[in-house]
Structure formats: structure tokens, C-alpha cells
Amino acid sequence: MYRIIPYINMAFEVYNWLIIVRVFLSWIPHDPYRPVFRFIYEITEPVLAPFRRLMGGRMMIDFSPIIAIIVLQFVERLIIDILRYL
């Protein structure tokens, strides 16, 4: 089980970076229908959408990426601790 831990770390790190890239994309004008941008939106939306719904749409600033990254780090630690215990 120890052999899979680096891959789990890498997968979570890549996903966190995709969320950060999506935040930066929201600050600059871009074409969301280009394949690279569309991929980033489609891969991150399933995680960000529930947090966005929980917070409601009343805020000017979208804090869902920050909360999503914190929760993903917690889930990563939990998965790694479970694998180390096995």
C-alpha cells in the first residue's frame, strides 16, 4: 500500500493546481470554449459546485475554491493515513 501513496499525493496536487489555474482564469478574459480551458472547467466543476451551493450565490467573492482546496487536503490526509494504517 505504501507504493500508491506518492501517486495519491501527486493526483491531489495536480487537482489543487487545476483549481488554482481556474481561479486565475476567472481574473483574465479568455475563451471558455477552447479545449484546454473547457477541460479545466469540466474537471474542477464537480468539486467546486457543491461548495458554491453551500455558500449561496450572495457573495461578491467566490470562496468555494479555497474551501475546496482545504477539504481536498483533509481528504488526502485521511486517505493517506488509512493506507498507512493498512
Instruction: For 59-85, write each residue's pLDDT tens digit.
Output: 788 899 999 999 999 999 999 999 999
Give the total number of structural domains in the chain. 1
The pLDDT, as a whole number, for residue 56 is 78
The answer to whether 72 and 47 are in contact (CB under 8 A) is: yes
Point out the least confidently predicted range of 9-13, 31-35, 43-47, 78-82.
31-35
Residue 2 — pLDDT band, cuts 50, 70, 90? Answer: confident
Structural domain including 59 reads 2-85
Per-residue pLDDT at 81: 95
Is the pLDDT at 46 greater than 80? The verdict is yes
- Note whether 44 and 51 are within 8 A (CB): no
pTM: 0.90
Contacts of 68 (CB under 8 A, 6+ apart): 19, 47, 48, 51
Greatest alpha-carbon pair distance for the chain in Å reads 47
| DSSP-based three-state secondary structure for 65 | helix
Backbone angles phi, psi at 53, to 5 degrees: -65, -40
